[in-house]
A and B are shown apart, each in its own frame.
Chain A
Amino acid sequence: MKDTKKIDLFGLFYKNSLVVEAIIILVVFQVLTGGSFLMVRNVSNLLMQGATYSIIAITMCLVIITGNADLSAGRFLGMIAMVAAIVQVRQSNIPSIVVVIMVYVIALIVGLFHGFWVGYMKLPAFIITLATQLVFLGVNQYISGGRIIGPIKGIISAMGNGYLPSISGKSNDTTLIVGAIIIITYVWIVISKERNNIKQGFDKSPLGKIVLKTVVISALIATITIILYSYKGFSYAMLILFVLTLIISHISKNTKFGRYIYAIGGNVEAAALSGINVAKEILKLYVLHAIVVATAALVCLGRLNSATTAGGMGYEFTAITGCVVGGTAITGGRGLVAGAVIGTMIMAILDNGMSLLNLDPSLQYIVRGAVLAFAIALDAYANKRQTKTVHAV
C-alpha cells in the first residue's frame, strides 16, 4: 500500500477517527461549557468516571470479537457491587480484602455459567445474557430490599476513590514518576515494535510518521499527567485501567488464547477445524470477562461509596458503543483492546460533557444512540470501500 498520490480524505479520517472524534468532542464541550469542561478538576473526575466503563470495555471488546455479546455486564456490575457493599456494611469485622476475594469468586462462577451456555451449549450469547441480566437485577433488589447501602471502606474505597500517595508528602511526586514511566514504556514499545519489524524483514514504516506520532502521544500523556499532578494526581482507578489494558492487549496479540479469539470471530468453522477447542476458549473468555467486570464493579463501588439497585444500569451500552466507536467490528473478528478503551473513554467524555451542560436527559439518549449508529455506519462504509478496492495478488 504505497505511493497513493491522491489524498484519500475519508481513509485518512477513518484511520484517525478516534483522534478526530476526541478533538471535536473536546473542543465542542470546551466552548459550550465556557471553559469549565477541561478544568483540572473535571478532567480528573472524567477519567475516574470513564475508568469504570472503560474497564468493562477491555474484555467486552474481546467478547464482541468472538462474535458474541454480553448484555448483562451492567446489571452484573450492579449486583456484585451490592453484594460487596452489604457484606462490608453488615459484617464490618470482615476485612475488605476478603470481600474482594469473595467478589472474584462470584465472578468466576458467573463467568463459568455464561461460558458454559454460550460455549458448550452453543446458546446465543445475546439471549443468555439478556436472561441473566434480569436475574442479576432481581438478586440485587432482593438482597438490598431496594435500599442504598454504604458507606464503603478499605481497599474497595481506595480502588475507586484513592489517589497515589506522595513520597515527599508535599506534592504528587509519584504521579510525575508514573507519568514518566508510562511515556518511557510507550516509547520503548514503539521502538521494539519497529525493531521487530526490521528483524522480521518487513518494510520500515516512514521514520517521520513514527516520530511525529510518538511525540504527539507522549505530549498528550505528559499533558494529562501535569493536569492531574496539579489536582490530586493519578488515582488507583486510572492505574487499574491502564495496567489491565496493557496486559489484556498484550495477551490478545501474543498468546494462543488471544489468537484463537480472533480466529473464532473471523471464521468459527475454520477455527474448529484448525484444532481450536472453540467452547473452551469461549469459556475462558467469559471467565476473564466476568473477572474484569468485577474489577470494574469494585472501582465503581469505591467511587460512588454506596450501592443501589439502579447500579450499573446501561453500563454495558456505554461499553459496547465504546468498542464500536473504537473500531471493534460488531460482526466479530476485528478490533483492538486499546481502541475499545479509548472509544469508551470518548463515550464517557460525551456523557460527562452533556451532564455538565445540563442537557435534557431525553436529548442525551438521542445523542448517544446517534453516536452508536454513526460509528456502525462509519465502520460499514469503510468496509464496503475496502471490498471495492480488494485485489487478487
Chain B
Amino acid sequence: MEDYILQMQNITKEFPGVKALDGVSLNLRRGEIHALVGENGAGKSTLMKVLSGQYNDYTGNLILNGEKVSFKGVKESEAAGVAIIHQELGLIQTLNVCENIFLGNEVCQNSFINWDYQFTHSKELLERLNLKVNPRTRVGNLGIGQQQLVEIAKALNKNCKVLILDEPTAPLPEDDSENLLKLVEDLRDKGMSIVFISHKLNEVFQIADTITVLRDGQTVDYKPAKEFTQDTLVSSMVGRDISTSFEKRDCPVGDVELRVSNWSVYDGINSKWLLQDVNLEVRKGEVIGLAGMIGAGRTELGMSVFGGLEGAISGKLEYRGTERPPFKNSGEAIKAGLFYATEDRKRLGLILNSDIAYNASLSSLDKFIDKGIFINRNKEYGKVKELSGKFRVKTPSILQLAKNLSGGNQQKVCLVKALMTEPNVLILDEATRGIDIGAKMEIYQLINQMAAQGLAIIMISSELPEILGISDRIYVMREGRISGEFDNRERTITQQDVALAATKGNEI
C-alpha cells in the first residue's frame, strides 16, 4: 500500500444552488509535491477550505495519517499539522516579522511573551528559509516575495506536516518565484508533504511529482507529472483541446493614439521620483508590452497617465493627435476614451459587496441613460450579459455579488467593466494574473480582437511569455525609467533580451 499522509475521499460540498465539489478525491503521498490544477471555479480553493476546516458541512472522508478526521476550524487543522497559505497574504503589515510568525501562537512565560525565545526561534526559521532579514523588521517594509517567505515561516512554526500553497507565486516577479520554487523543493526533500496550487503550468511541471486535475468540481485526472505534457494537461483542465500558442495578428497599425514624452512623476510625500523622463507611444491597433520588475514603475506609469495618481506630474501628453494637460482624474480620462484596468482588483477594481452588473457598468453609466437622469436597466443588463457571456464569466446570474466570485472571474468582470466604457486606449495592468489557462487564452484572443477593432493597448505584465507573445513593441522599465525598447513585430525578442534590460538597464 502507498504511504499516503492525506487522503480526501469522495468529498462533496454544496452551496445553495451550486455543487462546488462533487465526489472529489485527493491522495497526497508523504514527502511529495502534489500539484492541484484546474480552471477558475473548478473547486480548488473550496477543496482546500474543506481540508483546512473552514467548511465543515461537506460529505466524504478526510484521512490524515491513517486516521479519519474532521476539522471544525483553521485552529484544529493547524493543530493536526495542516497549514494553508492563501493567495492573499495574511500578514499584518504593521507588526514585525517575529510578531507575525508567532501571531496566535505566542510563547509565554508567566503570562508575558517570551521575546528571547521568539526572536531566536524566528531567526532559526528565517535561516532555514534563507531569508536574510532581521525578525524585528516591520513586515510592511518587506518586499512581497519576502513576505511570502515569512508566511511560510509562520506555517513552519506551527510544525505542519502538510503545507498547502495556494498560488504562492502569483504576486511574485520571476526571480522571486524561482527562489520560492527551490525552497518548496527543499522542504519536500526534508520530508514535508506539499499541495501546490498554481496556474503557471511551467512551474507545475518544474516541481510537481504528482498532478490532480479538477474540473467543474470533479477530479478528472490523477497521475504522475511525468505522464502529462503541457497540451494534455491543458486539455484535461479545460475539457477541450485548445491551442496554447499565440495567434498572429495582422491588423494595420495606425496613428499615434497616446504619446507621453519626458513624463516624470514626483511623489512629494515620500520625496522620491516615481517616474523619470519616460517616453512612450502607442498606436491605433497596436499592442505594446510593458515589462519590468515589480516596483519598476509600470503601475505608476499607467495610473499617472489615467489621472489616478496623486503626485506632481511633468512632461507632455499627446492624446489622439493633440497635446493636452495630463488628465486630472480618472473621470476625465474615461470620458476621453482612456481606461486603466487595475492590477489590484479587490482594492481598486471592484465594489465587492455589489453585484456583477453594478460593477461592470459603474464606469459607463452615461451610456445607459436615454434621457433625463434615470438609468435604463434593460439596456444596462443587456450589455453586461452580452459582454460577460463573451468573457465567459462563470456565474449563475449577473446579480451575483462580486465577492462571491473566484479570482479569475473577478478579473474578467474588471475587463468587462473596462470594455463597457468603449475605450480608444486601454491599459491592462496584470490582466491575466491569477487567471486559468483557458481564460488566459480567451483574454489573449480578446486583446487581438480589440486591437483589430483599432484599440491601442498597453499591456503591463510580469509574465514574459505573454508579453513576448502578444506585443508589437516592448518597453522595459527599471527604477522609474524606460531601460529598453524592442521591436517585436516578428516576435523575435527573447526572454533574455527583456530580462537583461529589466535588471541591468542597458541604455537606449
List chain A positions with a Cβ less than 8 A from chain B.
1-4, 196, 199-203, 250-251, 254-257, 259, 262-263, 266-267, 269-277, 333-334, 389-393
Contacts and interface: CB of A to CB of B under 8 A. Distances in A.
Given A200-B381, A393-B394, A393-B409, A2 B16 contact: yes
A277 B331 contact: yes
A172 B208 CA distance: 82
A271 B362 CA distance: 8
B400 interface: yes
7 contacts: A202-B399, A251-B373, A256-B365, A263-B354, A275-B334, A333-B351, A390-B403
Interface in B405-425: 405-406, 409, 417, 421
Interface stretch (B106-114, B233-241, B342-350): B342-350
B347 A277 contact: no
Contacts of A267: 347, 350-352
A256 B376 CA distance: 11
Given A255-B373, A274-B362, A275-B334, A199 B378 contact: yes
A236 B430 CA distance: 57
Contact of A275 (B358, B363, B381): B363
Contact of B406 (A256, A271, A392): A392
Given A256-B373, A333-B351, A389-B16, 18 more contacts: A1-B16, A4-B16, A199-B378, A202-B399, A255-B374, A262-B351, A263-B362, A266-B351, A269-B347, A270-B348, A270-B350, A270-B351, A271-B351, A272-B308, A274-B334, A275-B331, A277-B331, A391-B16
Contacts of B334: 274-275
A199 B365 CA distance: 20
B449 interface: no
A3 B348 contact: no
B11 to A, nearest CB: 15
B330 A255 contact: no
B362 A393 contact: no
B46 A254 contact: no
Contacts of A2: 16-17
A334 B353 contact: yes
8 shortest interchain CB distances as A-B pairs = A266-B351, A391-B15, A275-B334, A275-B331, A274-B363, A200-B381, A392-B406, A254-B374
A391 B382 CA distance: 25
Interface of B: 15-18, 20, 41, 45-46, 306, 308, 329-331, 333-335, 340, 342, 347-354, 358, 362-363, 365-366, 369, 373-375, 377-378, 381-382, 385, 394-397, 399-400, 403-406, 409, 417, 421
Contacts of B350: 267, 270
A202 B382 CA distance: 11
Contact of A200 (B352, B377, B403): B377
Nearest to B54: A388
A392 B216 CA distance: 12
Contacts of A200: 377-378, 381-382
B351 A391 contact: no
A251 B333 CA distance: 26
A273 B342 contact: yes
Nearest to A267: B351
Nearest to A334: B353
Given A202-B397, A270-B348, A276 B374 contact: no
Given A196-B377, A201-B385, A393-B406, A270 B349 contact: yes
A391 B18 contact: yes
Given A266-B351, A274-B330, A259 B375 contact: yes
A257 B366 CA distance: 11
Given A275-B334, A390-B403, A392-B404, A259 B365 contact: yes
A269 B350 CA distance: 9
Contacts of B382: 200
A203 B406 CA distance: 23
B348 A266 contact: no
Contacts of B373: 251, 255-257
B374 A392 contact: no
A255 B409 contact: no
A262 B378 contact: no
Contacts of A203: 397
Contacts of A277: 329, 331
A391 B366 contact: no
Interface centre among B350, B354, B366 (most CB of A within 10 A): B354
Contact of A393 (B335, B396, B421): B396
Contacts of A271: 351, 362
A117 to B, nearest CB: 19
Nearest to B349: A270
Given A263-B362, A270-B350, A393-B41, A256 B17 contact: no
B351 A255 contact: no
B71 to A, nearest CB: 15
Given A256-B369, A267-B351, A390 B404 contact: yes
A250 to B, nearest CB: 8
Contacts of A392: 20, 41, 45-46, 404-406
